[in-house]
Amino acid sequence: MKAFIVKSYGKKEKLHLEDWAVPTVNENDVLVQVHSAGVNLLDSLIRNGEFKLFLPYKPPFINGHDVAGIVTKIGSKVSKFKVGDEVYARPSDHRVGTFAEYISIDEKDVALKPKNLSMEEAGSIPLVGLTSWQALVEIANVKKGQKVFIQAGSGGVGTFAIQLAKYLGAFVATTTSAKNIELVKNIGADLVIDYKTQDFSKILKDYDVVLHSNREKIVLEQSLGILKKGGQLISLVGPPTPEFAQEIGLPWHLKFVTKLLSASAKKKAEKLGVKFHFLFMRAEGKQLNEITKLIEAGIIKPIIDKVFSFEQTNEALTYVETGRSRGKVVVKVR
């Protein structure tokens, strides 16, 4: 099969299109013929080597974290899927590799594709959908009438999270640039802040939840400051915490590193009487099934900016790195 490979870590590195062995199918696995693959900033960060401390992939390896496609083979113990099923997934860490013609995935990480979506639309959903679900439902437990601030509302996670927060009954504030104000309003944002001309920290106060995705230290501090007592900030960009290290089974010295990295943010949160969480989303087929129900009911719609051909995977990554995509970017593999 053809696949896009990370040959060595580095910001200037490109993915290499090469012939690669079709993955083996273990007893709990389904082999998926890839039709489309969502492109995420995570793919760039993995290629750059920014996560190699926590996710030590050994080059060469296949990149890519989102997939929609068709099951072509199943393991001996697979019970939920059959050959021919249309599925989508975010494969689990250490088993990623959706920029390829085939991928083998544990059936617990897979869900049937929403019937009302094309392969490209379905391929855009898993990573951003699961990130939003784990932040807003699992960690924050957002309730009707609460106030939620979602940063970067026109991005991949933002466009999904706004729709999910509205479904949960929240009042939603978000940041975006002037050209995307209509987009975020149309998907449910109640209060839109133009980050180029307005300072959210002077406009927002007494929020229950912040979904944080800005890497600047000052923005993290300002975001903690807009929460009410008992409020929660869930960060997608760090710093990573000892709880995260415990969750993914890191050795003691890396737990210590995360303790040092997150000390300042945790101290500030404690002083303000709020909570700081770091979320590195995980693969989860059951949660994807819940997301499928919302999509099939028309509650959440995918927002896609551009679809690139398989051969243009590097161009798709470069486009995502600009940070200017409206919604998701997808590679059409088949």
pTM: 0.98
Q: How far apart, in whole angstroms, are the C-alpha atoms of residue 102 and residue 231? A: 43
pLDDT of residue 172: 99
pLDDT of residue 174: 98
For 49-88, the pLDDT digits (tens) are: 998 988 999 999 999 999 999 999 999 999 999 999 999 9
- What does DSSP assign to residue 268? H
* Full set of structural domains in the chain with CATH: 2-125+303-332 (3.90.180.10), 128-278 (3.40.50.720)
Element (H, E) at 327: none
What tokens were used for 291?
Answer: 């997301």
Evaluate whether 98 touches 46 at the Cβ level (below 8 Å).
Answer: no
